A = this chain, B = another copy of it.
């Protein structure tokens, strides 16, 4: 299912998607806050509402995240820099494939945004307000909502894990409901996973996941639950120790 959190265009209300627009794009965080505090809260609430709607419609056993956003590796990079205390240069990478000059500009813009906004890691909602994106807030809300419903969540790549950082800073118990699907080649992703203490299931050199990592991981988790539930152990089929090799 797709959700609109902040596309700067209107969708037909009849489209089969979650209509949760918080704003029409965020503001440039290099010159001021990306959004208002109310919008930050609203984007997280939207994610929580989506999970509640899904749970009310059918049994939800496993939730996978994903995103489609423009320019959203920059806020994600800013978020891990804030929470980890690492330098912007260390956690910034090429996103959709910018060149060296683009990378220099990106690092400068993110560093400027952090200097201008001074986000406080002790105020996760403020971090989202100052450098976040609506989709990142929405994913944070999905994770918090899923944890509240005791539904495990498979986190996709770099953007989704930025949402997980916000979610777990707001609600640390949500961490126990998270699976990391893949390790992105985006440099800041390993820092995010280390911060959360998550081990990714795959390392397939993905950069842009847009939910594919989570989708693959859900197959793997499904298979693992079948192994746990359906495959008998050596003890159960009574293979003697002497026959083991």
- The A interface is mostly helix, strand or loop, or mixed, namely loop
- In the complex, the chain B residue whose C-beta lies closest to that of A95 is B245
Which chain B residues border A84 with CB–CB below 8 Å? none
Which chain B residues border A98 with CB–CB below 8 Å? 244
Considering the chains assembled together, what is the distance between the CA atoms of A69 and B216 in angstroms?
30
A10 sits at the interface (CB 8 A)? no
Q: Per-position contact with B for A166-191: 1 when CB-CB < 8 Å, else 0? A: 00000000000000000000000000
Considering the chains assembled together, what is the distance between the CA atoms of A70 and B234 in angstroms?
12
Which residues of chain A from 80 to 98 have any CB-CB distance to chain B below 8 Å in the complex?
95-98
Interface size on A, residues (CB 8 A): 25
Q: List 29 A-B contacts (CB under 8 A).
A: A69-B245, A70-B243, A70-B244, A70-B245, A71-B243, A71-B244, A72-B245, A73-B245, A74-B245, A95-B244, A95-B245, A96-B234, A96-B245, A97-B244, A98-B244, A201-B202, A201-B204, A202-B202, A202-B220, A203-B203, A212-B223, A212-B227, A215-B223, A216-B219, A216-B220, A216-B223, A219-B219, A219-B220, A219-B223
